[in-house]
Amino acid sequence: MATVILARHGRTAANATGVLAGRTPGVGLDDTGRQQAQRSAERLSGLTLAGVVSSPLQRCRETSRLLAPDHKPLTEQRLSECDYGEWTGRPLKELSKEKLWRTVQAQPSAARFPGGESLQEMSSRAVAAVRERDAAYDEAAGGDAVWLAVSHGDVIKAILADALGMHLDAFQRIMVDPASLSVVRYTPERAFVVTMNSSSGPLGHLAPPRGRRKRRSSDAAVGGGAGPEAASATS
């Protein structure tokens, strides 16, 4: 069973000024965004990543290089930002007055951006990309691989909603901050959401214990279990 660390890109000037950047080319990290990504990189110390996959947009590619400087990220088009169409480049305070805004908030599965894609289409492609990449890393590593996927806020929210078994209409309940890390472990029976929207604390415990020869159980621990430290001690 592989484990994916979902990283949102660090802050951009568009984020800071309340503009919906979407797929606008050339939107890179600002100074705060670079500092955020560098702090997140420190949290990955002690982990050997099986691979790094990134949205093709500049802000994600910059973030992936800061998070994993020893890896050349693979570009995954399906992890790109939602195509917001005619909403791209407009201020959020202006967009909040549009009739479609309420649909995006209350029933995102029914929202299609004018000249762009629907949130359902975004969700379907992103979930498929992560699950397919995860299965490939799992097969290549023989289990227990840890890999990194760098993407965008709405995209990661949709992936987490799927892992939680939530309808897309509930995905606005999930928060994904700039440079935050979320962790999902997929198994044949279910996905385990290990961490969401985390901005502090090391993630070295995600590394497979030394000497492990069998895959982790797909069963959920009744009562909550004893945590990763106990699992490492008994391996």
pLDDT digits (tens, 9 = 90+) for 130-139: 999 999 999 9
pLDDT of residue 1: 77
Average pLDDT of the chain to the nearest whole number: 92
User: Confidence class of residue 111 from pLDDT cuts 50, 70 and 90?
Assistant: very high
pLDDT digits (tens, 9 = 90+) for 32-80: 999 999 999 999 998 999 999 999 999 999 999 999 999 999 999 999 9
DSSP string, the chain: --EEEEEEPPPBHHHHHTB--TT-TT--B-HHHHHHHHHHHHHTTT---SEEEE-SSHHHHHHHHHH-TTS-PEE-GGGSPP--GGGTT-BHHHHTTSHHHHHHHH-GGG-B-TTS-BHHHHHHHHHHHHHHHHHHHHHHHTS--EEEEEE-HHHHHHHHHHHTT--GGGGGG----TT-EEEEEE-SS-EEEEEEEE-SS--GGGSPPTT--SPPPSS--TT--S-HHHHHHT-
Global pTM exceeds 0.85:
yes
Res. 231: pLDDT tops 90: no
Res. 110: pLDDT tops 70: yes
Res. 198: pLDDT tops 70: yes
Distance CA 205, CA 88 (A): 39
pLDDT of residue 180: 98
pLDDT of residue 211: 58
User: Confidence class of residue 207 from pLDDT cuts 50, 70 and 90?
Assistant: confident
